[in-house]
Amino acid sequence: MKPNRLINSSSPYLLQHALNPVDWFEWNGEALTKAQQENKPILVSIGYSSCHWCHVMEKQSFENEDIAALMNEYFVCIKVDREERPDIDQIYMEAVQAMGGNGGWPLNVFLTPDQKPFFGGTYFAPKAWAQVLININKAYHEKYEQVNASAHELSNIVASNDIERFRQNNTLDDLTSEIEKGYQNIAPKFDKTWGGMEKAPKFIMPSVWQWMLRYHYLSKNEEALTHLHLTLKSILRGGIYDQVGGGFARYSVDKEWFAPHFEKMLYDNAQLISLYAEAYALTKDEDYKIAIYETFDWLNREMQDQEGGYYSALDADSEGVEGKFYVWTADQLKDVLKEDFTKAMVHFECTNDGNWEHGTNILKRKEGSSLSENELNSIKERLLSARNQRPKPGLDDKIVSSWNALAIIGLTDAYRYLHDERFLQAAINCLHFIESKLLKEDIIYRSFKNKASATEGFLDDYASLIGAYIGLHQVTLQDHYIEKAKKITEKAIQLFFDRTDGFFFYSSKTDLIARKKEVFDNVISSSNSMMARNLILLGEIFENEDWKDIGQKMIESLNHVIRGELNYAANWGMAAMELGHGRKELILTGKNSFQAKSALQQNFLPFTFFAQASDTSPLFMAHGRNAPESDLKVYVCYQKTCKLPINTVHEALQQLI
């Protein structure tokens, strides 16, 4: 099969389509010009490499010579990797939803030659897809005025100001009351049997539970902590957690966290390392610690580039079957485990006929297992060794800037609370990859595979990298990290900030029909909420009132959303807590300052910023307090007022809690 233009792509997803008989283009000027010159509608098909139904539609339709011939004759066909070009995906996903569709991937949208959408949907079976192609071509040429009017209307919808639909003039006068309202609005949605929210499918939504940790820290509400425990424990016992190899699948199709959609995404696992590390700091629960180590081991074993970056995703499918790599028949378990077979069947809640489809078992974990730690580790090692002999799921080995920055944040959180140098070294190696491959003169590029993509980074790339620099500063107290956070923040404001409404555009520039703003938190927190948290913190420590004011106005204008829709505004909720509760600053000096920092950071202190005293520090708070000859001096400051220095970790902890 002769390759099409996608053979030169840097995207693994696009490369999967490089041998299709479809005459695919990437999204570029050549494709858009061809559509206008030939007056052909554009078919833009959007997906990602670990998307199950994207693979299905490719095999059924895009590899079909007859269907490809229709596509090539009637349309200019453009393939888009949503992870490389989320800006394109945002626009056309919103358009399909405005047409009444649910959205999802593959996302197939028909555009006029000037990029305006007029029809779209997700997965189509082959016969239906062929008929859609014929009908759309006929409508475009025979009912052009009607098509154009529809396209114009949809374009106006997606080009409308995202923020103006939601922002209000609010103030955060009574933070305690606002936080409590947020909790009271979300608590009735708790699934009190299985944890999480009372619905299926279930996404873990890490920021919701990180908000809950902070809510409990402030309120001491035991119901919140109980539900948090139920959720985190149920997840670890379910099939959504890889009981053999570590790491988390993208979501569970049921309420019990049992049957996952088997793809594993870097962004989920990066954030879940943070969540479980924070939960461990608060509770010292060993299950949480084990999950952190197992997920870290999986990341380094299966997802790490040799130069330190982390790959994007593992497919749900292997050998064309979803989940085949992860499930076991009773006979397969018996062959591997021999005399430990019966005990393992009980521990993993497996049956001879299978607890899942086609006689297979998804491994989950029985509460209160009778296996010893050594027995369980031996069983896991043997199962992992056997599983590694199977054909592996497809790997999306592009390295996305923002997701790697989230990995750095997760790794610094793990180091902070567990103090294992391997976590810190992995975070530093990952940052070196970003700085050497994806950061050029303060411009971040979106992704890397053999080379940096030509696509410049989006707001989430900048916001999460700022967070990564902050995280590394906190665990190392090295000032160059916080200086870099400041520098990237200045660049982000220059590239993305919209002074007309006080929020940030998602893209720095665009040749698309709209320039969007990402508002709501989802599985990944919105880039605007990440920037708000960055600006509040950096505004405080650098005494930059303009930055703090931008962050404060963003948070206050969405306070009604935080209060009423916390499930989609949890990171905004954390930003509101940080703004309203305030942050204590802890400045250390003396020979034992780093050891004291490490001891203090084993505790969950979400509203504390650490700094090393130094007269040359970029942080004014660190000046005038350096006492290198002392054993330890600790200054605890709040709202620009510092208490007298103290000399022990215990005393410091008493002032911080």
State the virtual CA torsion across 126, 130, 133, 137 in degrees, nearest 10.
180
Query: How many CB atoms within 10 Å of residue 91?
Result: 22
Our separate counts of H helices and E strands in the chain read 25, 21
Each residue's pLDDT tens digit, 23-75 = 999 999 999 999 999 999 999 999 998 888 999 999 999 999 999 999 999 99
Tell me whether residue 429 is in a domain.
no
19: CATH? 3.40.30.10
Is the distance from CB of 292 to CB of 414 less than 8 angstroms?
yes
Tell me whether residue 151 is in a domain.
yes
How far is Cα 473 from Cα 330, in angstroms, rounded to an integer?
49
3-state secondary structure 117-179: EEEEECCCCHHHHHHHHHHHHHHHHHCHHHHHHHHHHHHHHHHCCCHHHCCCCCCCCCHHHHH
Query: How many CB atoms within 10 Å of residue 90?
Result: 21
How far is Cα 375 from Cα 64, in angstroms, rounded to an integer?
51
The pLDDT of residue 628? 87
8-state DSSP, 313: E
Residues in the chain: 657
Return the SS3 of 62: helix
Tell me whether residue 542 is in a domain.
no
Identify the burial level of 188 via C-beta atoms within 10 angstroms of its C-beta, where 0-12 means exposed, 13-18 middle and 19 or more buried: exposed
Instruction: Tell which of 160, 186, 201 closes a domain.
Output: 160
Tell me if the pTM is above 0.85: yes
**Residue 364 domain boundaries:** 326-389
Phi-psi domain of 442 (left: phi exceeds 0; alpha: psi -120 through 50; beta: other) = left
How far is Cα 505 from Cα 520, in angstroms, rounded to an integer?
13
Tokens linked to 24: 């695919």
Instruction: Tell which of 160, 178, 197 closes a domain.
Output: 160
Tell me whether residue 627 is in a domain.
yes
E strand map for 362-446: 395-396, 399-400, 439-440, 443-444
Task: Give residue 284's identity as a one-letter amino acid code.
Answer: K
Is the distance from CB of 410 to CB of 423 less than 8 angstroms?
no
Nearest Cα neighbor of 477 from 373, 570, 587 is: 587
Mean pLDDT score across all residues of the chain: 95
Nearest Cα neighbor of 504 from 490, 489, 491, 518 is: 518
Token pair 């708790």: residue: 190
Low-confidence ranges of the chain (pLDDT < 50): none
How many independent structural domains does the chain possess?
A: 3
Task: Give residue 242's identity as a one-letter amino acid code.
Answer: D
How far is Cα 55 from Cα 567, in angstroms, rounded to an integer?
31
For 543-572, letters b (16+ CB in 10 Å) and e give ebeebbebbbbbbbbbbbbbbebbbbbbbb
Q: How many angstroms separate the most distant Cα atoms in the chain? A: 85
Q: What is the DSSP string of 509-525?
A: S-SSS------S--SSP
Tell me whether residue 313 is in a domain.
no
- Sign, CA dihedral 306-311-315-320, equals negative
Phi-psi domain of 640 (left: phi exceeds 0; alpha: psi -120 through 50; beta: other) = left
Instruction: Tell which of 389, 410, 444 closes a domain.
Output: 389
Query: How many CB atoms within 10 Å of residue 504?
Result: 27
Tell me whether residue 448 is in a domain.
no
Tell me whether residue 91 is in a domain.
yes
8-state DSSP, 188: G
Tell me whether residue 242 is in a domain.
no
The pLDDT of residue 48? 94
